Homo-oligomer: A and B are copies of this chain.
Amino acid sequence: MTEDPARAIRATNVFAANCPSRRVLDHVTSKWGVLVIVALAQSPMRWGALRRRIEGVSEKMLAQTLRTLEADGFVLREAQPTIPPRVDYSLTPLGRGLADRLIPLVTWVGNNADEIVGAH
C-alpha cells in the first residue's frame, strides 16, 4: 500500500479520460458528498441528525448523495423496521479510508478560507 505520489498517480492515470477514477473522483468531491463523509467520520448518525448537521442540504439532495455513497461502498445504511422509522448511517472501512484523506483537505480549506476569499 505504497502512496508515493508520483508513482501512484502514474499507476492509475486520473488524467486519462476513460479512467474509472474520474467518475469516482466526481462522486467523492461532490458538493454534499464531502460534507456527508466528514460528518459521518465524526460519528455515525441518523438521517435527521445528518440533515440538521449539514446546513442547507435539501432532503432530496441528502437522499441522493447518500444513495450514491452507499452504492460506491463508502456508507453503510441500516434501517430498523421500527415505527417511526429509524435509519442509521455510518462509514464502511472504505469510507473511513476516504475520510482519512478528505479530513485534512477540509480542515486546511477551513483554516485558509478567509485568506482565500479575501484575495478577491
Contacts and interface: CB of A to CB of B under 8 A. Distances in A.
Chief secondary structure at chain A's binding surface: helix
Contacts of A24: 109, 112-113, 116-117
Interface residues of A, number: 60
A73 B107 contact: no
Interface in A22-66: 23-26, 28-31, 34-35, 38-39, 41-42, 53-56
Contact of A20 (B5, B42, B114): B114
* Copy total for this chain: 2
Contact of A71 (B8, B9, B110, B120): B120
Interface of A: 1, 3, 5-6, 8-9, 11-17, 19-21, 23-26, 28-31, 34-35, 38-39, 41-42, 53-56, 71-74, 94, 97-98, 101-117, 119-120
